[in-house]
Amino acid sequence: MPEPITPVAFPPNFLWGAATSAYQIEGAVREGGRTPSIWDTFSHTPGKTAGGDHGDIAVDHYHRFHEDVELMAGLGLGAYRFSISWSRVQPTGRGPAVQVGLDFYRRLVDDLLAHDIKPAVTLYHWDLPQELEDAGGWPERDTALRFAEYAQIVGEALGDRVEQWITLNEPWCSAFLGYGSGVHAPGRTDPEASLRAAHHLNLAHGLGAKALRSVMPARNTVGLSLNSSVVRPLTQDPADLAAARKIDDLANGVFHGPILHGAYPQSLLAATSSVTDWSYVLDGDLRTINQPLDTLGLNYYTPTLVSAADPDRQGARADGHGASEHSPWPAADDVDFHQTPGERTEMGWTIDPTGLHELIMRYNREAPGLPLYITENGAAYDDKPDPDGRVHDPERVAYLHGHLSAVRRAIADGADVRGYYLWSLLDNFEWAYGYEKRFGAVYVDYATLERTPKSSALWYGEAARTGTLPEVEGA
């Protein structure tokens, strides 16, 4: 007999949200004066995305945002995390803002507020204006200065009505997939450039946080979203433990070191000395990066399993977002990556909610007193409508139940987790995988752009409305 399931209740003010990003859903890439971002260029370069897919139309959220807000309201969601397309509000990444672009986001925010849905804005979810890449991109310091200017523009425009602000989404992906393995835009494969990019993204975060605070009401919160990896050693062998520490520095320490503690880990500087001399870290940068945070966003999908490289063992280069002969991990040829055992999602990512609990508890120790949000968590499955038109996705329901239970356990263990944003509201353009991978709680028919809430959306909506995880068969 299975154990009876106790309903899992969350604290009363817990925020139940969903997340998206601009390039993945908006479309309308040539409207309102928007100029191309690195993702427009990259996705239109043959061979870079599955099937040559691109975000020209995506799910046409730019024109259908009202329908999408009503969908969220109908489900009972309390919060929505979305990102701003930089080149829609400041074409080319320099100079004055374009009113049409800002007005689009103002209308979206007003619509959300009218439906009692709290907006959370991400300023940068990977879509750098192409002109800034042409001028050198994230490996160049000037890009961080441009970001601060852009942050101020958006803060001035929306700071009176948006309280939750996220400077950067997953700077690890921007730096190491964009400039290291090249599976993301702009597709460069230069390890030293990837570390320079990481530093300038950190600087952009610090300068951006300052710029936001200079123009926004003090009640607003500023943070960023990290895809902090849960890095586990394959065995307790000292060589495997050392490999795990190295990858932990390259995945996590490179960002939370300067952001939370005002310094890059010594072990990171030593491990990467064959690739870079870090001379682009100028006096005062670490102080700028180490701005006090109001919140920290954690994005979690799957843990990372590593060992010391062993020619006899079948290691693989894993980066989760696409295959490349170039490693995203600079100076880490002595490390092998392994598949964590267990059931996997359609991305090939192993399902392991214990990693989410571990991650939350780590940041609870790493940054005591800092309120945490899970700013992304979710799963891709090969969803298909039934003949009756409904989309049943029990695997996604089980995934969400497992991970939300892990969040609840972490709260019971003393962590201050304030909310959860399901990735993603809608099926959308999944970067190098194009439209092949469906992460949405809401199904999108790409021929008609019709939206159909999957059973996971209904399940999650009930959780949001009641503050309690509904029962799941077999959970």
Residue 448 burial (CB count, 10 A)? 7
**Which residues form the interface with ligand FCB (CB under 6 A)?**
21, 169-170, 173, 227, 299, 376, 423, 430-431, 439
Q: Which is nearer to ligand FCB, 22 or 398 (CB)?
A: 22
Nearest Cα neighbor of 22 from 79, 76, 72, 81 is 81
Q: What is the largest CA-CA distance in the chain?
A: 66
Q: Which is nearer to ligand FCB, 10 or 443 (CB)?
A: 443
Tokens 């068969």: give the residue. Answer: 473
We find the least distance from the C-beta atom of residue 352 to ligand FCB, in angstroms, to be 16
User: What does the alpha-carbon distance between residue 36 and residue 290 come to, in Å, rounded to a whole number?
Assistant: 32
- Tell me the residue type at 18: A
**Cβ–Cβ under 8 Å, residues 353 and 409:** no
Tokens 């049409």: give the residue. Answer: 100
**What dihedral do alpha carbons 325, 327, 328, 334 form, nearest 10°?**
170
Q: Which is nearer to ligand FCB, 143 or 299 (CB)?
A: 299
Q: Which is nearer to ligand FCB, 159 or 378 (CB)?
A: 378
Give 349-415 as a DSSP string.
-B--HHHHHHHHHHHHHHSTT--EEEEE----------TTS----HHHHHHHHHHHHHHHHHHHTT-
User: What does the alpha-carbon distance between residue 13 and residue 340 come to, in Å, rounded to a whole number?
Assistant: 35
Q: Which is nearer to ligand FCB, 109 or 183 (CB)?
A: 183
Tokens encoding 365: 């120790």
Report in angstroms the alpha-carbon separations of 9 from 362, 408, 441. 23, 8, 21
User: What does the alpha-carbon distance between residue 124 and residue 434 come to, in Å, rounded to a whole number?
Assistant: 20
Residue least distant from ligand FCB (Cβ): 170
Q: Is 301 annotated as a binding residue?
A: yes
Q: Which is nearer to ligand FCB, 180 or 470 (CB)?
A: 180
Instruction: Please tell me what DSSP assigns to residue 78.
Output: -
Q: Which is nearer to ligand FCB, 62 or 429 (CB)?
A: 429
Tokens encoding 401: 């139940």
Q: Is 169 annotated as a binding residue?
A: yes
We find the least distance from the C-beta atom of residue 348 to ligand FCB, in angstroms, to be 12
Please, is 284 exposed, middle or buried when counting C-beta atoms within 10 Å of its C-beta (0-12, 13-18, 19+)? exposed
- Tell me the residue type at 48: K
We find the least distance from the C-beta atom of residue 108 to ligand FCB, in angstroms, to be 18
- Active-site positions read 170, 376
β-strands 296-299, 372-376 pairing: parallel
Q: Is 125 annotated as a binding residue?
A: yes
We find the least distance from the C-beta atom of residue 114 to ligand FCB, in angstroms, to be 27
Instruction: Please tell me what DSSP assigns to residue 436.
Output: G
User: What does the alpha-carbon distance between residue 282 and residue 401 come to, in Å, rounded to a whole number?
Assistant: 46
We find the least distance from the C-beta atom of residue 322 to ligand FCB, in angstroms, to be 11
User: What does the alpha-carbon distance between residue 148 and residue 144 come to, in Å, rounded to a whole number?
Assistant: 6
Give 211-265 as a DSSP string.
HHHHHS-TTSEEEEEE----EEESSS-HHHHHHHHHHHIIIIIHHHIIIIISS--
Binding-site positions for substrate: 24, 125, 169, 301, 423, 430-431
Binding-site positions: 24, 125, 169, 301, 423, 430-431
